[in-house]
Structure 1
Amino acid sequence: MERIEGATLEQELALQKARKRVIEAIGNNMDLYGITQSTGHLYGLLFFQNKPMTLDEMGHAMEMSKTSMSTAVRTLVDLKMVNKVWEKGSRKDLYEVELDWFQTFADFFSLKWRKASEINLHALRKSKSELQELSAKYAEDEAFLQQLQADQAKVDEAIRYYSWLNRLIEAFESEEIFKLVPKDLPSR
């Protein structure tokens, strides 16, 4: 626990209890999004730090190996939830949490949705092409052609959905989403 200058032990313990509750909630929440609970706990730890931390400092605080810590930090950096920072005089890599949770949310879901969209659109477009070839090849088979047309309609609707999803991702990436759904003003 980071010592707070001038604070009593009772004050520090009360603060640590409040922080721990938030860190545990963040860890549980991250687990819902496919991020390990320990990586979520690391994010929570970094959230309450008032300075960047090294992997060694994180490992000590979390009681995890440097390898596990490195994997967790890499995950958080890849998701743009943690930033690698430079500090004069330090030869070790330092990391700090991205404090803009609105941007963190936008980045996280943009990355996840973009990947899913690309994979699914590729498959849908390939299947659409195959269905069109089958329609030309079996144009005289009315029953089969009806099924192909029904499948083509479903594929077209799925493509329409992923096109919409790509526009939503672009709204997150360009921050246009915040014009439609403004960030709340900071509470006082």
Structure 2
Amino acid sequence: MDTNQERILEKAQERVIETLARNMDLYGITMSTGLLYGTLLFQDKSMTLDEMGEALGMSKTSMSTGVRTLMDLNMVEKIWKKGTRKDHYEVNLDWYQNFIDLFSVKWRHASEQNVHSLKKSLQELRALQQSEELTDELRERVELSIRRIENGLDYYLWLSRLIDSFESHEIFQFVPKKESDS
């Protein structure tokens, strides 16, 4: 391949890598971890932390943190490579599953935290609602807050079912991976 063709290939890959990194930021993934993911995506072989650091001009520590994050999200996996003691990593090429894992982990964690807070507040408000010392105005405000929290809990039940539909791949019955060419 001549130098001009190589530049075109590299520029196209760099554009995708940068775009992926920026988009992953929407899900709370740092730009450097997104760049690492994108870099691994275009490799035709697994990479060590040293190789990743060299490719991105970043420290081995940064690469280790990024790889750990991506492994926690099931977007990268450690693989065994015969004849070497260093760990090698490669990206999971299933973009659908990567999204599902990323979405599910992040949203389920946030949902569980929010549900915990809502339930705790609901318990406190129901106890307060039983107080005979409440003014009518304060009782109305407590009851309004209870209704809004119950509405929020209904939402989080729905969100949990949505996450379940992603994890079970049931979502693909409603939104197929690829539209048919009909």
Q: Pick the TM interval, shorter chain.
A: over 0.9
2:178 aligned residue? 184
Q: Separation in 2 of the partners of 1:133 and 1:149?
A: 11
Q: CA deviation at 1:141?
A: 3.6
The match for 1:28 is 22
Asked if 1:56 corresponds to 2:50, the answer is yes
Q: Within 2, Cα distance between the matches of 1:159 and 1:185?
A: 34
The answer to whether residue 147 in structure 2 is matched with residue 153 in structure 1 is yes
Partner of 1:3: none
Range with greater deviation from structure 2 (151-160 or 86-95): 86-95
The Cα of 1:13 is off from its aligned counterpart by 2.1
Query: Structure 1 length normalisation: TM-score?
Result: 0.89
Q: Structure 1 residues 85, 185: CA separation in 2 closer, same or farther (over 3 Å shift)?
A: farther
1:29-80 CA distance string (max 9 Å, x none):
2223322212111111100011111101111111111111111111111122
Q: Does residue 142 of structure 1 match 2:136?
A: yes
Q: Please, what is the CA RMSD of the aligned residues?
A: 1.8
**Range with greater deviation from structure 2 (12-21 or 159-168):** 12-21
Runs of 5+ consecutive residues of structure 1 not aligned to the other structure: 1-6
Q: Does 1:123 align with 2:101?
A: no
Q: What stretches of structure 1 move > 4 A for 4+ residues in a row?
A: none
Checking the alignment, whether the CA contact within 8 Å between 2:27 and 2:106 is kept in structure 1 is: no
Output the amino acid matched with 2:105.
L
Aligned-pair identity in percent equals: 55
Distance in 1 between the 2:70 and 2:144 partners?
A: 43
For residue 112 of structure 2, what is the amino acid of its counterpart? E
Matched, 1:86 2:86: no
The whole-number CA distance in structure 2 between the counterparts of 1:167 and 1:98 is: 25
SS in 2 for 1:89: coil
In structure 2, the partner of 1:164 is 158
Which piece of structure 1 moves more, 81-90 or 165-174? 81-90
Q: Is the 8 A contact 1:138 1:145 kept in 2?
A: no
Unmatched segments (≥5 aa) in structure 2: none
Size of the alignment, in residue pairs? 181
**Amino acid of the structure 2 residue aligned with 1:93:** D
Q: Give deviations 1:116-143, integer Å, cap 9, x for gaps.
A: 1111111111111111111112376433
Other-structure match for 2:167: 173
